[in-house]
Amino acid sequence: MASLKPLLPATALDEIAEAPERAEARLDTIVRPELFHLAARYWEGRWLIETAEALARNDKTFTGRSREMCERRWRRFAKLTPCLVSTAYTAPRLLDYFDGANQPLIGFIDLLIVDEAGQVSPQVGGALFAFVRTALVVGDTQQLEPVWGIDTDTDFGNLAKWGLDKEKPLLEHGGMLASEGSVMAMAQAATAFAAPPHRGLFLEEHWRCRASVIAYCNELAYRGALKPMRPDGDYPLPPLGYAHVPGSAARAGLSWSNADEAGVIADWLGHRRAELLSHHRAKKLGDIVAIVTPFRAQIAVLRRELKNAGLGDENITVGTVHALQGAEKDVVLFSPVYSAGHSGGMFFDRGVSMLNVAVSRAKESFLVFGDIRLFRPEQRALPSGLLGAYLLAAPENEITDIEPISPIVQKEGRSELERLNDLEAHREVLRRAIGEANERVLVVSPYLSDKAIEADDLAALLLSRRGGPRIVVAYDHYLNCGDDRSLLPRAVMAIDILRASGAEVWALNGAHNKTLTVDESWIVEGSFNWLSARRDRDSDFQRHEVSFLYRGKDAAIHVDNAWKEVEALREKPEREGSREQTNAWSG
């Protein structure tokens, strides 16, 4: 303490006396900034003296091209800016001298720091190490990779052409292959520092995201090695959530776009804007929100829809994950673009890097606005499948206050539809459907809850119709199971109540639509979970939900398609996602 008395004010000394661990923090904020400025002024003074003397001598350090002159010029310049920033492409061209021909200043730089080294390919960044004595390489091989200029076959062919076949294992192990290596991988292979199972120093403390956000990345890419340092706190959005938007993807040149997803995102941000700005005490949504998509064509569509929604001046970052590498926002929205009928693999499943970067940019909440059938939780080995397991872990993760996208809305137009805006409207329609049906009723509720059924007194209503119309309740089996893959108690009790009341209960594989049909007369589609939505208006999870009721001339077609889809999901052992099932809605 005696050594700190000349440096710190009395209040800081008293604080350190009570909590000695705070000494470093107080030195960082009070003493070291002053020392930095003193050092900077000292070296500026040295530069002024040296420059004045050189001018008086008219020496060659200003223009000379010999190694000695170049080194002296750089060292004088370093008195003003000891840290020089350059790209991997530019630095080698700056660090040369002339000795009959241009020569590199080999071994001249004291310390090279390479940031985002996982994105630098070996043939681009490798040459830098010839200029330096010591290197500090910072990066993450589990995040964005380099843009490699050649494929593996060409790379191996080049090795064979120059007789380097035998060096392939060494180059591969050392992260030096031009088709799959990186400067970060090279450094990890070369460093003498290791804390198994990691090569180099692994920064295990994670401070950006709240724990329930980074948990996905921790399992996906880091084998649980990250230590979340931020506790979960209250926030108006789920840490990992989704809005089911069964939109249509469209080819745009070599890229893809999805106007349905873009429209829902813009509309949702518009009506959530005031709440988000108030919560964060921010002036613009761009201070809080970013939108990420895998496809460049979708960027233009998103920006257009944001402008149409009056959000064009909110400065919202919209781009691929590369636009957010190294950045962060409180809320990150993800527009996957693909339709559920997409055949083949998805771009963000080619490795862990894309979804790892996308999710880890979100400090508070990462929200998927797309067709949730793409994210199949039973395929946990895929990045999208693991994300699906997190997204579908709880009913509260669903964002339901959106304008629904369904074939009915897309085909019939809003003028032909009756809009249901609140809990009471949905409850009334459900009771009316059961009470008025003559032949059959279909209720598709992905989640089941005995409390919702009891709150609406549906058991008595169902019993009163026993022997009348056929009433089928369909639910998603996966969504109602716990980690041990057995049905949750709320679902078991709900199924018992429904069956005891005379309803048929069907377990489906991959149900996410919320549907209600009556005879061949009318159909309701939207975001309301018919037999699980919270009935308590004071609940934190009571949200604005929207559905559309259609009873027009094509109602029978839509009703028939709804039954066909449910029957297909009931029959298929795997989760939904085929083109045939998606097209069953087209009528």
Q: Token pair for residue 537? A: 């208006």
Chain-centroid distance, C-alpha 382: 15
Q: Give the pLDDT confidence score for residue 213 in this predicted structure.
A: 96
Evaluate whether 132 touches 158 at the Cβ level (below 8 Å).
Answer: no
pTM for the full model?
0.84
The pLDDT assigned to 534 comes to 65
Rounded distance between C-alpha atoms, residue 464 and residue 437, angstroms: 12
pLDDT at residue 381 in the model: 95
The per-residue pLDDT for 583 is: 33
Q: Can you list the domains of the chain with their CATH numbers?
A: 89-203 (no CATH), 211-397 (3.40.50.300), 407-583 (3.30.870.10)
**Distance between CA 530 and CA 248 in Å, rounded?**
25
Question: What is the structure's pLDDT at 380?
Answer: 93
DSSP three-state, residue 264: helix
The rounded distance, in Å, linking the Cα atoms of 240 and 480 is 18
Q: Are 146 and 169 in contact (CB under 8 A)?
A: no
263, burial (CB in 10 Å: exposed 0-12, middle 13-18, buried 19+): buried
Report how far residue 503's alpha carbon sits from residue 497's, in angstroms, rounded to the nearest whole number.
9
Per-residue pLDDT of the chain (587 residues; tens, 9 = 90+): 778 888 888 888 888 888 988 899 989 999 999 999 999 999 999 999 999 999 999 989 999 999 999 999 999 999 999 999 999 999 998 999 999 999 999 999 999 999 999 999 999 999 999 999 999 999 999 998 998 889 999 999 999 999 999 999 999 999 999 999 999 999 999 999 888 888 899 999 999 999 999 999 999 999 999 999 988 888 999 999 999 999 999 999 999 999 999 999 999 999 999 999 999 999 999 999 999 999 999 999 999 999 999 999 999 999 998 888 778 999 999 999 999 878 888 999 999 999 999 999 999 999 999 999 999 998 999 999 999 999 999 989 999 889 888 777 777 666 688 999 888 999 999 999 999 999 999 999 999 999 999 999 999 999 999 999 999 999 999 999 988 889 999 999 999 999 999 999 999 998 899 999 999 999 999 989 999 876 555 544 445 788 999 998 899 999 999 999 999 999 554 444 433 333 333 22
- The DSSP string of 40-84 is HHHHHHHHHHHHHHHHHHT-TTTT--SHHHHHHHHHHHHTT-SS-
